Amino acid sequence: MRHERATEELRETASLYALGALTQHEACSLEIHMKEGCSTCEAEVRRFRRAAVTIGFAVDEIAPPDYIHDLLSARIERETQNPAPSRQPNPPAKETNASVPSSLFRQPEKERHSIFAWVLVAALVVAAAVAGYSWKIEQDRTVRLSNELATSRSDMADLQSLLDSRKSRIEELEQLLKSLSKPGSRLAHLKGQPAAPEPMGALVWDRELNECLVVGAFPEPPEGKTYQFWFLPTGQTIPAGILQINPAGTTMVRFAIPEQAGNASSAILTIEPESGSSAPTFPYYALGRFD
């Protein structure tokens, strides 16, 4: 007997054959039936074999056909409502080239229960695979976000350092402008000399406070040495103070102007021992002339 179309029983038998769940007798009967030229059964068996292979390699991408769920639900409901009576085992049927026996498409209760258990296990395997894949994706995402957060924190630290440097520079300029705005203040631009052309900065003589504000950028002095300022009134060299340089190579220092400085017209910068000197060591590094 050839089938013109695929029925539910035919699909169920073909799927069990593709999974190797038929008895030897039932499998042989189906094979004989297909050899007789039933293209419908052959097509269903090929389709279920392809589905089984595909599920084995990509369980997270292949969804079972919609009718499988309906078929299983209907079987479970029918078997629950109408339990089958106990049956005696049928004697083995002789192979024949006649039509396929109808018992081929009807499975015993124990075999059906085994099928349901197999389907349940397969569903659990699929769920576990999907859960594992989802966990892996989430784990990778967490690692990526952690790396991005660490990079952002490093960038923020660099930016904060730059802002602090700019803030310090702004404070220096504000103090310089404040001192310059006072009546009677005097300004001297510090310029590097042939011995050291790099130093540059400014001195502001605040007559109101009798202080001198020094701001500028200077190279780090040699080890064990420091910068020292000197006022140059007529015929004299008066020490003013030690100049401390920060790691960025800049400074902003206020000195009390010595009484001996009088009305000095210029100031010089020399390199001295760390404790300072009572007389300058020449050649001097920078010179500033007051306006």
Please state the rounded mean pLDDT for residues 53-62: 56
pLDDT tens figures, 147-158: 888 888 888 888
Question: In terms of pLDDT, which residue wins out, 202 or 132?
Answer: 202
Across the chain, mean pLDDT equals 77
Whether residue 98 has pLDDT greater than 50 = no
pLDDT tens figures, 12-25: 888 888 877 788 88
Please state the rounded mean pLDDT for residues 169-184: 75
pLDDT tens figures, 180-237: 777 778 888 888 877 666 667 888 888 888 888 888 888 888 889 999 989 998 878 8
Question: From CA 274, how far away is CA 194, in angstroms rounded?
Answer: 23
Q: Which two tokens stand for residue 29?
A: 């009967």
* pLDDT category of residue 57 using cuts at 50, 70 and 90: low
Task: Establish how many alpha carbons lie within 13 A of residue 14's alpha carbon, considering only the half-sphere containing its beta carbon.
Answer: 24
* Cβ neighbours around 104 below 10 Å, total: 20
* pLDDT category of residue 273 using cuts at 50, 70 and 90: very high
Q: In the chain, what are the domains? A: 8-137 (no CATH), 186-290 (2.60.40.200)
Exposed, middle or buried by CB within 10 Å (0-12, 13-18, 19+), for 126?
Answer: middle
Whether residue 74 has pLDDT greater than 60 = yes
Helix (H/G/I), strand (E/B), else coil: 218 = coil
**What pLDDT is stored for residue 21 in this prediction?**
77
Task: Establish how many alpha carbons lie within 13 A of residue 242's alpha carbon, considering only the half-sphere containing its beta carbon.
Answer: 12
Share of the chain above pLDDT 70, in %: 74
Q: Model-level pTM greater than 0.75?
A: no
